[in-house]
Amino acid sequence: MRRVDILRHLRPDDRDQLVGFIDELAAVQGARPLSDHLWLDLVGGGAAGFVAVTATELAGDTPRLIAMAQVSAANDGVVLEVVTRPDGDLTDARPDAAAVALDLADTAIDAFRRNGGGRLTWWVDDATDAVGELAAEHGLVLERSLHEMRRPLPHPDRSAVATRAFVPGVDDSAWLTINNRAFADHGEQGGWTAATLAQRLAEPWFDADGFRLYEADGQLLGFCWTKVHAELRPPLGEIYAIAVDPAAHGRGLGRELTLAGLDSLADRGVTHANLYVDAANTAAVRLYHRLGFAVHRTRSAYSGRLGAP
């Protein structure tokens, strides 16, 4: 028997239960199963528009949370993601995981409509036909596919450009200018504010030495920001964000800054790296393939503007 609850306002005990659920899965699966901005919204207790839909298994003496769908505001609208608990010892997929995830997504989308609707993006890993069918029923269309790519470290080549570590409180403004210029049309990475950056700099994983800046003639032209997932075994080093000022395109800096990030990770003892890239960005995908990366999984974004029921 299963109970489904819709939470629009998190009480402290609700928040603690959901944070604990995500932390438990992260400890076993080796990575947090929520995107950064959803995680920060959850930890913060849920900003305006927050919705959580939970599924609790009632069999036995102790109710057990087995899945959660979360809706949170993002830069360019609202994002939905679904997390399910594996079965048994938490290492095997639940036989009904896909069906539970679809049910919670369906309920969360309906709850979003009842909150007034708006633009919604549903992110799914390695989407199935059933996901596409449910998305279409709600008027959501496949808008974007994002590859996670991985490779071992160290890379045989080292960067040919000199970089330096980011200095919090000193480089913030210049970095925000470059980042927002480079990602002007990007939903998650573009439109950052000083508060957005400060939130990331306050994260436990932040390491200024892994946030590499490239300057020429005293002007910031690009960066490669890395993030080490120390909870993984072995730890995984992510190219968290990388960009070149559009005014400096055509100089081969994308390759060199990627290598600078990989150098930084390898120099800190990390033996595997990953990054995320839009599948439609064929030039970047080719570059990363040439640098020895291979596709590990593909995330799909189904988006649309949904009206209230």
Torsions phi, psi for 239 (to 5 deg): -75, 95
Six token digits for residue 54: 């939970």
Task: Using a pLDDT cut of 70, give the percent of the chain over it.
Answer: 95
Question: 34-79 pLDDT, tens per residue?
Answer: 988 899 999 999 999 999 999 999 877 788 999 999 999 976 689 9
Six token digits for residue 181: 């210029």
Which domains, and CATH codes, for the chain?
2-145+300-306 (3.40.630.30), 154-270 (3.40.630.30)
Q: Do the Cβ atoms of 251 and 262 come closer than 8 Å?
A: no
Q: Do the Cβ atoms of 291 and 258 come closer than 8 Å?
A: yes
What's the pLDDT score for residue 89?
43
What's the pLDDT score for residue 246?
92
Task: Using a pLDDT cut of 90, give the percent of the chain over it.
Answer: 77
> Above 70 in pLDDT, residue 95?
no
What's the pLDDT score for residue 1?
79
Question: 281-293 pLDDT, tens per residue?
Answer: 999 999 999 999 9
> Above 70 in pLDDT, residue 192?
yes
Q: State the average pLDDT over residues 102-127.
A: 95
In sequence order, the β-bridge partners of residue 294 are 150
Which has more pLDDT, 29 or 103? 103
CA 209 from centre of chain: 22
> Above 50 in pLDDT, residue 90?
no
Least confident of 29-38, 39-48, 252-261: 29-38
Q: State the average pLDDT over residues 235-243.
A: 95
Question: 142-165 pLDDT, tens per residue?
Answer: 999 999 999 999 999 999 999 999
Query: For the chain, what is the mean pLDDT?
Result: 91
Check whether the bond before 154 is cis (ω within 30° of 0). Answer: yes
Six token digits for residue 15: 């928040």
Q: Do the Cβ atoms of 206 and 200 come closer than 8 Å?
A: yes
Q: Do the Cβ atoms of 175 and 213 come closer than 8 Å?
A: yes
Torsions phi, psi for 207 (to 5 deg): -135, 110
